Amino acid sequence: MEPQPRIGVYICHCGVNIAATVDVEQVAEFAASLPGVVVARTYLYMCSDPGQALIQQDIEERGLNRVVVASCSPRMHEPTFRGAAQQAGLNPYLVEMANIREQCSWVHGDREEATEKARLLIGSAVAKAAWLEPLEEREVEVTPGVVVIGGGIAGMVAALDVANAGFPVYLVEKDDHLGGRVADLNRTFPTLEPVADLLEPMIERVQAHPNVTVFLNAEVAGVEGYVGNFEVEVSGSRGAEEQRSRGAIRNPQSA
């Protein structure tokens, strides 16, 4: 049987970045009342060495098996808190974060409303933390190739960049020619340079590049897999549907 969640909640003041707008002490009292929470603390800078030491001490002394940190964006300090938890013997993937700075204190001026939102964000993080499971990092083989969808200017530039880096590229274009909408134009703006002077050399480079395979009159019929190992099904003028195994998919139109 899985042990019952023993969650520690740690709320960062971030100097005045959070505490000036959010009533962090009130939020800590709320967090302490949530199911599974055995300790809730606030600290001036939770990412500092003393702040991390608080978390590590509680993991060791209170037997925490989940940690929730309410602070800044996970993009900034999630690795920091995961590392601190791991040093104390807790699986780093049993750490959850609530962003109460960028998504709360920085975008609200009303203290009462910001505090209520912080309560909701932390409540959600605690509920999620209770369902977290320990994970292990693994290495998998990656297919070193890219499918580029769309043979316009952006698609050809992307294809050449990847191909010049030494990776195979499969360029899929639904029309019978490369160039996209630019091929329908006469001159560029504001230089009034003939489009053909720009487009034709690029098309020649793409078609002549040993690392680029071009599919014209073709469309992506299906995609399966995951980052690093996609299976892309291409249907078109070559007859039967063709399946390509690639590591990445690039759609310039959605970039």
pLDDT at 252 (0 to 100): 62
pLDDT at 246 (0 to 100): 58
Residue 163 in tokens: 């191909």
| Model pLDDT for residues 109-162, shown as the tens digit of each residue | 999 999 999 999 999 999 999 999 999 988 888 888 899 999 999 999 999 999
Task: Enter the pTM of the model.
Answer: 0.70
Average pLDDT over residues 19-29: 98
Share of the chain above pLDDT 70, in %: 92
Query: In the structure, what pLDDT confidence band is assigned to residue 44 with cuts at 50, 70 and 90?
Result: very high
Query: In the structure, what pLDDT confidence band is assigned to residue 253 with cuts at 50, 70 and 90?
Result: low
Average pLDDT over residues 16-31: 98
User: Which of left, alpha, beta for 66 (phi over 0: left; psi -120 to 50: alpha)?
Assistant: beta
Q: CB neighbours of 46 closer than 8 A, spacing ≥ 6?
A: 10, 11, 12, 52, 54, 55, 69, 71, 81
Picking from 22-36, 68-82, 168-182, which range would have the lowest pLDDT averaged per residue? 168-182
pLDDT at 183 (0 to 100): 85
pLDDT at 3 (0 to 100): 84
Query: In the structure, what pLDDT confidence band is assigned to residue 85 with cuts at 50, 70 and 90?
Result: very high
CA–CA distance, 48 with 57 (Å, rounded to integer): 14
> Residue 57 pLDDT > 90, yes or no?
yes
> Residue 19 pLDDT > 50, yes or no?
yes
> Residue 21 pLDDT > 60, yes or no?
yes
pLDDT at 248 (0 to 100): 58
Domains and CATH numbers, the chain: 7-129 (3.40.50), 146-254 (3.50.50.60)
Picking from 9-13, 141-145, 209-213, 238-242, which range would have the lowest pLDDT averaged per residue? 238-242
Round the average pLDDT of the chain to a whole number and report it.
92
Instruction: Say how far residue 216 (Cα) sits from the centre of its chain.
Output: 32
| Phi, psi (degrees; rounded to nearest 5) at 152 | -80, -170
User: What are 96's strand-pairing partners?
Assistant: 68
> Residue 201 pLDDT > 80, yes or no?
yes
> Residue 101 pLDDT > 70, yes or no?
yes
pLDDT at 242 (0 to 100): 55
Average pLDDT over residues 226-232: 87
Share of the chain above pLDDT 90, in %: 75
pLDDT at 195 (0 to 100): 87
